[in-house]
Chain A
Amino acid sequence: MKLSRTKLERYLSVIAILTILMAWFVGGAIKEASVEPYLEQAFPTANIFNEISSGIFAAIDANGQIIGYVGIGEAKGYGGPMRLAVAVDLTGQVVGVALVDHKETPSYLRKVFQTDFVKNMLGKTYDQPFELGKDIDGVTSATCTSAGIANAIRQASVAIAREQLDLPAPSEPRPKIIFGLPEVSLIALFAAGYLGRKRVIRRTRLIRWGTMITGMIVLGFIYNRPLTLSKLNMFLMGYFPEWRTNLYWYLLLGGILFVLTADNRNPYCEWFCPFGAVQECIGAIGGAKPRVRRKQQGIIDWVQRGMAWLAIVIALLLRNPGVTSYEIFGTLFQLNGSVISFAVLGIVLVGSLLSHRFWCRALCPLRPIEGFIRLIRAWILEIWNTNVRKTRTS
């Protein structure tokens, strides 16, 4: 008996859900890293560390004297929570920092530690704001990671100052709601996409080019905020970022999911994906068309799905959202990436000259995820309609 394509896709989607759930539970069972090795890295002149309260250790020298404290600060970075061991001397000054664990994309983290960003934190005291743009400069294109590190250092140094040094430490500032150009642009792009698709306004083609180019410039080149697998993994793992400072991501993901489930359309990819826009601009120059034959596209679809599934499962197993993120968006928009990323980017840009949306049709991990949501949606609707018909006939 030959299995129909729809049935095969449904069976495989169930297997994909089960394996992702298994990876989620196995990854969650992995213990957090022990902080002991990092205490010495943060405070190398101390010989012994005694835990005196939750997350704070007294640093003791060879003569048995307390020479400072090491606190474990925790904050949210780009990919999820990160913990840092922060050494503070008896005057409340930060004297050492060691990263205990993190969920950041490796290339971004390397970038932050290659600069003097962390070194510039040394010598700061508990009463300083540790705020990007105020007393510290973030690392370009890794601002979330930089802010996470600064917040973790502030949190630990304030806790030590208040609990151990009896110093008048300031209370933890409440984050402000960030609503700027990216958020405004996003809402406008969603609205333009909706109106354009419903043909409420004329000149749909022109409007689509407008949204595409706006997305490319604002969400791509200026702010580097295209949707990535790393962000989706982060939400899958339950690392929900602070909504006040990450309103953009909630608007983007919420908007896509809402329109996709209600209207069966993906407004992001169709109307304002920054990388899609770059490909379409290049394609317009080279006269790109869908060049791949249907049979070949069938094989490519399965490879694309397999890669996305594998990337999600490994990320869940390692509990690190960014470790398997293979998009080349940052490579193009911020010129940040490995030699391999630049090589892939080169091929993709050349391919886009000839083949319409070369990356989207063959490599982007978001396309299979969108297809998966559509499949589940159609399946649920089919069951729903069958049940409605049955109740009507009975």
Chain B
Amino acid sequence: MEHQRKKNKNILSHVIVGLIFVCVVLLVSEISINVEAELKADQSNQSYSAVMHDLASSK
């Protein structure tokens, strides 16, 4: 009984550590996506803009 309880506890701690490392991988990929988007935006001069429709279409 005691042995089984210890075994379950051990499994649970490994599951928690596994979940933590999945989160770490996901968060690092999120950071890299944001950094890549930031660098791309800098290189391509891509910007957010809005122009009055009649002005834009009259060019």
Using CB atoms and an 8 Å cutoff, list the residues of chain A in contact with chain B: 33, 37-38, 41-45, 87, 95-100, 106, 109, 113, 118-119, 121-123, 291-293, 296, 300, 303, 307, 310-311, 314, 318, 320, 323-324, 326, 338, 340-341, 343-344, 347-348, 350-351, 354-355, 358, 362-363
Contact = CB atoms under 8 A, between A and B. Distances in A.
Contacts of B16: 291-292, 351, 354-355, 358
Interface in B8-23: 9, 12-13, 15-17, 19-20, 22-23
Contacts of A341: 30
A121 B50 contact: yes
Nearest to B12: A291
B13 A44 contact: no
B38 to A, nearest CB: 5
Contacts of B24: 303, 307, 363
Given A41-B47, A100-B47, A351 B19 contact: yes
A217 to B, nearest CB: 26
A110 to B, nearest CB: 8
Interface in B42-59: 42, 45, 47-52, 55-56, 58-59
B31 A314 contact: yes
Contacts of B55: 43-45, 95-96
B31 to A, nearest CB: 5
What class of interface size applies to chain B in its complex with A?
Answer: 35 or more
Contacts of B42: 33
A350 B19 contact: yes
A323 B52 contact: no
Interface of B: 9, 12-13, 15-17, 19-20, 22-24, 26-31, 33-35, 37-39, 42, 45, 47-52, 55-56, 58-59
Nearest to A317: B35
B51 A44 contact: yes
Contacts of B35: 314, 318, 323-324
B23 A348 contact: yes
Nearest to B38: A323
B30 A340 contact: yes
Given A96-B52, A99-B49, A292-B16, A344 B59 contact: no
Given A42-B51, A358-B16, 5 more contacts: A98-B48, A118-B48, A296-B13, A303-B24, A324-B35
Nearest to B22: A347
B5 to A, nearest CB: 14
Contact of B30 (A119, A293, A326): A326
For B13, B27, B42, the residue with the greatest tally of chain A CB atoms inside 10 Å of its CB is B27
A109 B48 contact: yes
B23 A363 contact: yes
Given A41-B47, A97-B50, A292 B38 contact: no
